[in-house]
Amino acid sequence: MSAAFAPRAAVIGIAGTSLSCAERELLQALPPAGVILFQRNCADRAQLKALTDELRALAGARRLPILIDQEGGRVMRLRPPHWRALPSAGAIGRLALADRAAGCEAARLLGRLIAHDLREVGIDVDCAPVLDVATPGMTEAIGDRSFGSDPALVAELAAAFATGLTAGGVAPVVKHVPGHGRARVDSHFALPVVHEAGAVLREADFVPFRALRHAPFAMTAHLVFTALDPEHPATTSRRLIAEIVRGELGIQGILLSDDLAMQALSGEPAARALAALEAGCDLALYCPGRLEDTRAVLQAVPPLAPSLQARLDGIMTALAATPVEPFDAEAAEARLLSLLAGPVA
């Protein structure tokens, strides 16, 4: 494959429920490493499967990763009436406090149900689970997306959720490394600055990420940790990514930035993408689907290095080959709801 048509080191969003001619031309000329979908892209099952089929056809022989944020609770891009309503991580965490085994079963069922819904419409990477440890006063941007305030329990429930996803042929993305639970402002609108000492972070926030370090994908946080790098958010911090994310935490998976359009960051989209890659992210994530900004990002970022392309292809090939056993989604959903209605009723 020539460098001109090699996948670029970016995952991008698209504007609507089908590709425009201009989007189609862009994705052929400057193919992204992957595409992420949002509620604006998802009308119903038939439409969404047609969209993912078209995206994959444009990628040719390469298995294009198609991502989405489907966590359960309020962060669900596939929503009723066309898709099932599912509980939040916080609800499962509360169940686990009353009955740890029931909580773990519920987390695994949640992941398996989400995988079922995603796989049938051609989506194979879920930007979940959230590994952020809850703290008093944390921003509602995380809120009940967290499994709770006990780092070991968060790790256990997140691992069960990831197991459910994987069993259904969907890859998890653990987020937001090295932890978003101490943010007091929403990084969609401002840059959070965390002042806790490194020892505090290591005893709590880092624990779930260390436990799930073998996940195939991880996503960074747009937070400044003054004890780790007082000048740069994690997403654009060479020091933090090298020493903490890759070093101390041992994160081995492909590292995505969080959405580079968030206002925690400054600069033009292309400059943000380059800063994330230069800091050590493998893929720059740019979600809004604004054509000219997306074009600028894809033009700015380099083609995937052969070693990274091989790693990504390996993950996607393994997913496509995953033998998904017969699964009764209705029975699993009923069991999940019965678990949640039990000890916490």
Q: Are 210 and 250 in contact (CB under 8 A)?
A: yes
Q: Which of 107, 139, 145 is nearest to 127 (CA)?
A: 145
How far is the C-alpha of 328 from the C-alpha of 79, rounded, in Å? 20
Q: Which of 69, 126, 258, 293 is catalytic?
A: 258
How far is the C-alpha of 10 from the C-alpha of 275, rounded, in Å? 12
Q: How many domains does the chain have?
A: 1
Q: Which residues, other chains included, contact 61 with Cβ-Cβ below 8 Å and sequence gap of 6+?
A: none
Residue 216, in any domain of the structure: yes
Q: Which residues form the domain of 125?
A: 100-279+306-345
Residue 34, in any domain of the structure: no
Q: Which of 166, 196, 199 is nearest to 180 (CA)?
A: 196
pLDDT tens for 185-205 read 989 999 999 999 999 999 999
Task: Please tell me the number of Cα atoms within 13 Å of 329 on its side-chain side.
Answer: 16
Q: Which of 82, 150, 186, 188 is catalytic?
A: 188
Q: What does the pLDDT read at residue 342?
A: 82
Q: Which amino acid, residue 178?
A: P
pTM exceeds 0.85, yes or no: yes
Q: Are 66 and 312 in contact (CB under 8 A)?
A: no
Residue 291, in any domain of the structure: no
Residue 45, in any domain of the structure: no
226: pLDDT strictly greater than 50: yes
Residue 286, in any domain of the structure: no
DSSP-assigned letters across all residues of 61-78: TS---EEE-EEETTEESS
Residue 249: give its domain's CATH number: 3.20.20.300
pLDDT tens for 97-134 read 999 999 999 999 999 999 999 999 999 999 999 999 99
Residue 293, in any domain of the structure: no
Residue 64, in any domain of the structure: no
Residue whose tokens read 């790693």: 311
151-167 and 100-119 are packed helices; what angle lies between their axes, rounded to 10 degrees?
Answer: 40
2: pLDDT strictly greater than 60: no
Residue 136, in any domain of the structure: yes
Q: Are 291 and 299 in contact (CB under 8 A)?
A: no
Is 258 annotated as catalytic? yes
Is 205 annotated as catalytic? no
Q: Report the pLDDT averaged over residues 176-190.
A: 94
Find the angle CA(32)-CA(33)-CA(38) to the nearest 5 degrees.
75
